[in-house]
Structure 1
Amino acid sequence: MSGFFVVMFGLCLIAFVVAMARPSLVVKWGNRSRKEALMVFPMLAFCMLVAAITTFDKKDTTTNVQPATVATTSTPTVRDPNNTKQTWAFEHLENNSQHNLISLGEHLGTKYKSVPITKGNPSIIKAYYFQDADVTVFLNTYYKNVAYWRVGKHSE
């Protein structure tokens, strides 16, 4: 829609220039004077410019830009294909998935250690390192779900 108003703005400017030379060509009302053209066409051009600006579609002009990822919420990328427990983690663990420590122990192994976290609220986020799967899972105790997880032993 803003394209229409830009074209109309341009036509108003052209009509204003023509009206300053020969008012009778573009002014079809009133007394057809330069004074009449000086009052009407700049005001119309201004209105078209305001309309073009207000209807301008603000599209994202960037292409192929990946969104910024926070290190604590990204999915692990290093994988040991021979470790079936770690493979289960890659296939079934997602951020905000509903798992508790017992169900994780069944799939990732019963050998796990609590890891003190260095980032976040330690009364809400609890970290557990599962040795058999070589995976650290960060559980949100408030929502009772997986906040995020990492391959290897991590504290953040």
Structure 2
Amino acid sequence: MGDRLSPGDIAPDFTLPDDTGSQVTLSDLRGGKVIVYFYPAAMTPGCTTQACDFSDSLESLRADGYTVLGISPDMPEKLAKFREKEGLTITLLSDADRAVMTAWGAFGEKMMYGKTVQGVIRSTVVLDEDGTVSHAWYNVKATGHVAKLRRDLGLE
């Protein structure tokens, strides 16, 4: 597992495919604020709740200057089905080899049903206009996370 990011860190750059196969490069988004969240798997209950919450909040987040990127190990084809099935409006990215998740501290050991396993650690990292981490949360709960995020960012 990579080290977890903390406020003040420069976020590692990446280029990942979205659900259409187009490449998205983080550094291309400099000049705006970015919310990057990592989730274990498309079309599972918790991940669907979280993705729908971000989609439902996207217009107000955009109005406050934020772009939202959701990253999972799912292939672009599965992400496209997820977007279509749930009517998602956020950008979904595929990190199939988990390299970005590892670099951002969002993949590694976690507890699942009382056992230690290797997997995606549900995490959210907020970047300022320069690509510097302003907030980082690890092991977040899917339900209610977007509301907490908005409160912590002073967007209520």
Q: Which has the higher contact order (CA 8 A, sep 6+)?
A: 2
The normalised TM-score by structure 2 is 0.24
Kindly indicate which of the two structures has a greater share of residues assigned to strand. Answer: 2
